Chain A
Amino acid sequence: MDWGHVLRLIASEELLSIAGLALLLVAAWAGDKASRAISIAAVAALVGAAVIVAPHLCDGASASSVFYGQMRVDAFAAYAKLLIYGSAIAALMVAPVFFERVKEMRAEYPVLVLFAALGMGIMVSATDLMTLYIGLEMNSLAAYVLAAFLRNDERSAEAGLKYFVLGALASGILLFGMSLTYGFAGSTGFEGIRSALSGEISLGMVVAITFVLAGLAFKISAVPFHMWTPDVYEGAPTPVTLFFASAPKVAAMALTMRVTLDAFGTQVHVWQQIVIFASLASIIVGALGAIGQTNIKRLLAYSSINNVGFILIGLAAATPQGAAAMLTYLAIYVAMTVAGFVAVLMLKDENGEPVELIADLAGLSRHRKVLSACIAMTMFSLAGIPPLFGFWGKFVVFQSAVQAGLVPLAAIGIAASVIGAFYYLKVVKVLYFDEPANKVTGKSDWAHQALLALATLFISPLGYLLTKALGALSATAAAALFHAA
């Protein structure tokens, strides 16, 4: 093996590791004063990593395995990494204004985000259970700290603790499943597992698959492993919530795709039922759970559970179209999540305190027309009402399910989406129909405005002009996933 070539292939990971370590030193020397500069440097590193990764996506054929099958550098990983780096950049951009207000902007924040992004990059390229676990834990450890970043805030500390305890439990479940898999398949590499699992498999292997999927379901917060999501999303500082709702979701979902479609790709009928159940349960529980929420961050948490359900419909199809549909949905989901949480960050009262109660947003459309219009568009988009771009995400996953012959799943899923529409409508109702509460009067930062404008533009009907490009990219990425089939 030519090491120079291999090191070039994983250049994005190297860049992020070196940047992370270097910035950690800078943070230690320069202290919190330099946190803005470190953030900017971290954003630059992420942009650099994205530039390195992008060619792999454009050239679908250039897939290669590195480190004796530990990782795979292909279009699929590149697609997921681009989304992850983009989300991380957004999380870095919105953070300074938020943390500086409470004098908590510390230099560790950008460094932790960088390490989390690195871990996620490893997750999505992993083709071995070992690499998978290293990436997952690297991301998780950074994430636990990020959740508890506001040390003096009880809710933030609680979120960190909850995330840590439940995350550790999920990692345990996942490890148990992985060890069983190793026991039955005799290999930790996805290729080895795949070839060992052709034909009929033993009950023990079914249990192994179930445990692996249960562990992964926790990471993507699919029902029934979703309980931590609302609490962590509500308690974590909003920029961190934005990060949690976007990047780790993409990474964990991509990881789940890699594990199910590649490692367990020959045993579709075993995991398909699990995925179908998790998908429908997530759609329904996510929708019903959101109805009673009064805090907009909790509402968005349930909304993310709901969205995960829709994404899983594409996985249930177990076809390249399904995988491509999931990737398209993920891209749109990231844009909607960024738009949603940036809008939440912009909701501030006259003292700059964040406003999180939905009731306090009453009549916002009277004095903050553009912000309200952006929130309303995000809500309609999350509800999947055309002509907003969120509809396209739902459209492609349902189409893949119909093409795979899963018409009943598609019909039930789409009917349940109407329940979800109810609570998205509730937010629009509060913004537009209710008498003004005049709570949200604070000014917002230009970085927030720019991000919101960008994300809203993407989910506006203009997004449809991107459908061809997006479709082609996600098809290339999905094809890379099915290389062995």
Chain B
Amino acid sequence: MDGFPILSAMMLVPMAGAIACLVSSARTARQIALVATLIDFALGMLLWNQYQPGGAQWQFTENAAIFDGFSWKLGIDGIALMLIALTTFLMPICIGASWKSVEKRVGEYMAAFLMMEVLIIGVFTAQDLFLFYIFFEAGLIPMYLIIGVWGGANRIYASYKFFLYTLLGSVLMLIAMMWMANVAGTTDIPTLMEYNFAPQAQTWLWLAFFASFAVKVPMWPVHTWLPDAHVQAPTAGSVLLAGVLLKMGGYGFIRFSLPMFPEASAQFAWLIFVLSMVAVVYTSLVALVQTDMKKLIAYSSVAHMAIVTVGLFAFNRQGLEGSMIVMLSHGFVSGALFLCVGIIYDRLHTREISRYGGLSINMPRYAIFFMLFTMASVGLPGTSGFVGEVLSLAGIYQVSSWVAFVSGTGVILGAAYMLYLYRRVAFGDQKNADAAAMPDLDLRELAMVAALAVPVMWMGIYPESFLAPMRADISTLEARVARAKPVGDGQFKAGQSNNQTHESHEGSH
């Protein structure tokens, strides 16, 4: 593998595919897009295979100083590797999900998705501050077009909201980046991750980055673009948005906010906790009353991403690992759930929950997979959701039992809205004749949901495969933020029994 610029190649393949799609007929464009994303998936797996856990922190590095003021510098650590694997895995599924449902302007549609893949991989691999920003921002253009051209009835409003919200969030980050590059004298992300900015300055820098990442994640109260964008986007757009784009926010926190501004992160940890707690409870309750399936899952995404942010700012290994697993798990599960919604939407062209019912009778295979993903979203042991949530909550419990308690209600509320959704869609009487007449999954759909079921189960049963590559990097990060670690309210000491822990917990409040 030495010397072969595999990361650049992973961006070049979809880029070439995108250009080819633009000049191809609908049929050819679909095939080109599928082939390009599958090649990228193969490269992604090769990358995982070649990655050496415990080796150098930054692997597969490339550096070409071809620009003025910044350089084409790529490289990944375990955290980025996992997110790239997630991206390359979801992309062929996105293409598959749009195989039949997208009929107009197919070439441009496929090109937009392939460009999206280029930019997402760019975000996760960039090792230069400004290169990262360019990829981070550029993703807005294809996503704006995907929502606006191929979206639902209210797509124009949603596309504007998506674009302007995320743009406003990001521009302040750019100014902060310029300030950092000016003070530290470098734009190299690994160097900056070890640079100690003055705590005073960190406060402002952290807030600027927070403005960008909080919108991307999205955190309450700047989450309102997400339900709109999800509902209006085509199925594959939702899969991509929930599966990967939201992870850019979490990745931003883990790559920039925590290691570059540890003091400020500790200072604002409570801001994160409060916003996340509100998000968990509030958006879960909102999800409970939705009548639109996509909106329900969109709100559930906000609640799940709040568990991610809580875990990240726990400043300990469990929290960080848990957050990463929740992000990966959410990528697969929410992607799968949007796909499940898309499958029945393609048949009945409505997302109203009440228009369905009793699908387990006429679509048994669909019902099984939908059940699996519902359970994974709820966090049933044996699925990926469980591992991540338990780790995150265990992490935050060391900092604050109250935050852990409130965030924990998200699991219960999650069970409530997801099971309620499942009951209304899959169980009960077949009260709508047209819904009752829908055929079960065809081979293409089966392949997609089965493919998604594999990592969901795998991560639930043997999470070590996913944790191992990230272990060293999370240790580094934990050591880096240790100096600013907030004091937990639990005050655990080694050797205490559960009972004593409980008492000290009581005593502190």
Contact = CB atoms under 8 A, between A and B. Distances in A.
Interface residues of B, number: 33
A404 to B, nearest CB: 10
Interface stretch (B65-73, B282-290, B380-388): B65-73
Interface stretch (B158-166, B220-228, B497-505): B158-166
Nearest to B67: A467
A403 B182 CA distance: 6
Given A385-B140, A433-B148, A433-B155, A418 B171 contact: yes
Nearest to B118: A387
Contacts of A467: 67-69
Nearest to A470: B68
Contact of B69 (A399, A421, A422, A432): A399
A475 to B, nearest CB: 9
Given A468-B66, A471-B68, A410 B149 contact: no
B451 interface: no
B164 A402 contact: no
A418 B68 contact: no
Contacts of B179: 402, 407
- Between A396, A402, A410, the greatest number of chain B beta carbons within 10 A of the residue's beta carbon is seen for A402
A411 B164 contact: no
B478 to A, nearest CB: 32
Interface string B310-338: 00000000000000000000000000000
Nearest to B163: A425
Contact of B141 (A385, A398, A410, A465): A385
Contact of B178 (A410, A464, A470, A471): A410
Contact of B175 (A366, A387, A414, A422): A414
A374 B171 CA distance: 25
Interface string A10-27: 000000000000000000
Contacts of A391: 134, 137
Contacts of A417: 171
B148 A414 contact: no
Interface residues of chain B: helix, strand, loop or mixed (majority) = helix
Kindly name the residue among A429, A464, A470 whose own CB sees the greatest number of chain B CB atoms within 10 A: A429
Interface string B125-168: 00000100111011011001100110000011001100110011
B403 interface: no
A415 B179 CA distance: 16
A425 B144 contact: yes
A465 B181 CA distance: 21
A239 B148 CA distance: 33
B178 A398 contact: yes
Contact of A425 (B135, B137, B160): B160
A399 B144 CA distance: 27
A378 B69 CA distance: 23
B406 interface: no
A386 B182 CA distance: 21
Contacts of B144: 425, 428
Please indicate which of the listed interface residues A386, A391, A398 has the most CB atoms of chain B within 10 Å of its own CB.
A386
A386 B163 contact: no
Contacts of A422: 160, 164
Contacts of A395: 69, 130, 174
B172 interface: yes
Contacts of B160: 422, 425, 429
Nearest to A465: B66
Contact of B172 (A411, A433, A464): A411
Interface size class of A (residues with CB under 8 A): 20 to 34
Contacts of A414: 171-172, 174-175
Contacts, number: 89
Contacts of B167: 385, 418, 421
A111 to B, nearest CB: 39
B145 to A, nearest CB: 6
Interface in A463-477: 464-465, 467-468, 470-472
A380 interface: yes
Interface in B400-419: none
Nearest to A411: B175
Contact of A402 (B133, B145, B163, B182): B182
Contacts of B181: 399
A398 B174 contact: yes
A447 B362 CA distance: 62
Contacts of B140: 385
B148 A432 contact: yes
B171 A433 contact: no
Nearest to B104: A366
Nearest to A377: B141
B133 A386 contact: yes
B413 to A, nearest CB: 35
Interface string A358-394: 0000000010000000000000100001110001000
Given A398-B178, A407-B175, A471-B68, A429 B159 contact: yes
Contacts of B156: 429, 433
Given A385-B140, A391-B134, A415 B67 contact: no
Contacts of B171: 414-415, 417-418
A414 B179 CA distance: 14
A467 B72 CA distance: 13
A381 to B, nearest CB: 11
B217 to A, nearest CB: 19
A468 B72 CA distance: 13
A417 to B, nearest CB: 7
Given A385-B141, A399-B69, A415 B163 contact: no
Given A402-B182, A415-B172, 14 more contacts: A385-B167, A386-B133, A386-B135, A395-B69, A395-B130, A399-B69, A402-B179, A411-B175, A417-B171, A422-B160, A425-B163, A468-B67, A471-B69, A472-B68
10 contacts: A386-B133, A386-B138, A421-B163, A421-B167, A425-B160, A425-B164, A428-B144, A428-B145, A433-B159, A472-B68
The 7 closest A-B pairs by CB, nearest first: A471-B68, A467-B68, A386-B134, A402-B178, A414-B171, A433-B148, A387-B138
